[in-house]
Structure 1
Amino acid sequence: MINKQVARAAEALADVRDGSTILVGGFGQIGHPMALIDGLIEQGARDLVIVCNNAGVGTSGLPRLMKLGRVAKIICSYPRTAAVFTELYAAGKLELEITPQGTLAERIRAAGAGIGGFYTRTSAGTLLAAGKETREIDGVAYVFEKPLKGDVAIIEAWEGDRWGNLTYRGSGQNFNPVMATAAALTVAQVQRVVELGAIDPEDVVTPSIFVDRVVEIPYEPPYPAISY
């Protein structure tokens, strides 16, 4: 019997290795897998490369992970959403790779689709294109971008079943579905685990083939304390 449900966040992330590239879903705190980040903190992996839209908000989640010295590098479109990032980056304790938001999403999508890269006009002629292959197509400058694959993706969804089929709610969808396809291991934090067949096939956004582990975290702002 296939059952991908895991009781505890830290248990679901137990085999994350030091130096792993972690795709982290969310846009600000919307669709952000806060409980899984806490599980990652409890698990203990270090020197992580974090791929996310932004560097978190406030002092919990990604900012806490950074403050604990567990992040070596961030790849994101807008990092200055958390004061701790600014402090660490200014002190030379954190490496940064800026990637425009649309390019970030497409690099992740390319990894999930098995595409070797793509050309985009975004960043052509700017410092962000330094060191990258450029090409003129129909008289327009393009920059070649490589796919961005994760060792692990941690995402948040609305509902899931024990097979790992997932649905999302509103803007919580954001980066989560595309990240689920682009990692060797995908762990989903869901607000409700439902019985098999309860999710209409037409409503499934992320099919179970992309999901390895599911952790149920009922959402009650702030989300409840979790025993690891």
Structure 2
Amino acid sequence: MDKVVADAAEAVADVPDGASLAVGGFGLCGIPGVLIHALLDRGTTGLRVVSNNCGVDDWGLGLLLREGRIARVTGSYVGENKEFARQYLDGELEVELVPQGTLAERLRAGGTGIPAFYTPAGVGTPVAEGGMPLRYAPGGGSVALASPPKETRFFGGREYLLEEGITTDFALVRAAVGDRHGNLVFHASARNFNPLAAMAGRITVAEVERLVEPGELDPDAVHLPGVFVQRVVVAEAEDPRAERRVERRTVRETVPARDREGGN
């Protein structure tokens, strides 16, 4: 039952080239940075990644992307990653864009053994009708591979389209607290896609900021039960790979106190 491994390198040592990988996080919030760096150091390539987005140019999954280690991305947001956009438009990267809520449900469905489900999201758009560019021809311009049309049905007079659940070879997630049995607790918004990605992975690796002994976690406080987690690695706070960056920092202009009080 003790699922703790010595370090991140050991935790991802058997991730082969071409593996499919569900990765938690939203923007840079809750991303498994230590595990991503371990894959980068290992040289794993040809990865097929399922994640809400692909990090930024110099952090998160963007590090793997920059080195040409990712072959395909299933996600919902290109975000601040210029290299992501460049590789996609130049025909170097295959991309399946999915409505964000649909992506979340596809991961959850795959993790609970549901092969497919119907949703109204995307009806009447290229998501349902097909033709969305999955891959451009080298150098950009023409579409080399387009998305196929999806099955639709009417329920109660409303049209829905069929979406398939997602399962992956591996999943990488980050949690605030975990125990040796793999039970995880996420902090605030870092919960985002992490539980869903963990459920979808056949082998799920969790990096945790704090490791506790079995029985220390209140069962009602557990966000993800250990049945979904196969490996746990501690992300040491002093490890620069565990840095929690802010994707875009916005601050307001400081107003002098005398102006706030109506002074001249």
Structure 1 length as normaliser, TM-score?
Answer: 0.94
Alignment of 1:108-187 (within 5 A): 108-129=107-128, 130=130, 131-187=149-205
Query: Cα offset for 1:224?
Result: 5.5
How many equivalent pairs are there? 224
Q: How far does residue 81 in structure 1 lie from its aligned partner after superposition?
A: 2.4
Please say which structure displays the higher CA radius of gyration: 2
- CA offsets per residue over residues 170-224 of structure 1, 9 Å max, x none? 0111111122111110000100111222111111111111111111113469555
Change (3 A) 1:12 1:168: same
* 1:9 and 2:8 are equivalent in the alignment: yes
Distance 2:225 2:242 in 1: 27
The residue number in structure 2 matching 1:44 is 43
Q: Which residue pairs with 2:234 in the alignment?
A: 216
Contact 1:54–1:81 (8 Å) recurs in 2 = no
Structure 2 Cα separation of the partners of residues 135 and 223 of structure 1: 47
1:92 aligns to what?
91
User: Aligned partners of 1:207 and 1:69: how far apart in 2?
Assistant: 34
1:132 Cα offset (Å)? 0.8
Deviation (angstroms), 1:102: 0.3
Aligned to 2:74: 75
Structure 1 unaligned blocks of 5 or more? none
Amino acid at match of 1:190: V
**Cα distance in structure 2, aligned partners of 1:176 and 1:208:** 13
Structure 2 gaps, min length 5: 131-148, 244-264
Once the two structures are overlaid, the 10-residue window that deviates more, 212-221 or 152-161, is: 212-221
Aligned-partner Cα distance in 2 for 1:155–1:23:
8
Mapped contact 2:54–2:60 kept (Cα < 8 A): no
Asked if 1:207 corresponds to 2:206, the answer is: no
Task: State the match for 1:18 in structure 2.
Answer: 17
Instruction: Supply the distance in 2 between the matched residues of 1:194 and 1:132 (Cα, whole angstroms).
Output: 46
Partner secondary structure for residue 81 of structure 1: coil
The two structures, once aligned, show a CA RMSD in angstroms of 1.5
> Aligned with 1:57: secondary structure?
coil
Closer, same or farther: CA 55–68 of 1 in aligned 2, 3 Å: same
Which residue identity lines up with residue 121 of structure 1 in the other structure?
Answer: P
Cα separation, partners in 2 of 1:224 and 1:81, compared to 1, 3 Å: closer
Task: Please give the secondary structure, in 2, of the residue aligned with 1:88.
Answer: helix
Using the size of structure 2 for normalisation, the TM-score is 0.81
Distance 2:45 2:177 in 1: 30
Cα 1:159–1:96 change in 2 (3 A) is same
Deviation (angstroms), 1:74: 0.5
**Off by >6 Å, runs of 4+ in structure 1:** none
Write the distance in 2 (CA, Å) between the matches of 1:169 and 1:80: 23
Aligned in 2, Cα 1:183/1:143: closer, same or farther, shift over 3 Å? same
* Post-superposition offset of 1:138: 2.0
Counterparts in 2 of 1:63 and 1:224: CA distance versus 1, 3 Å? closer
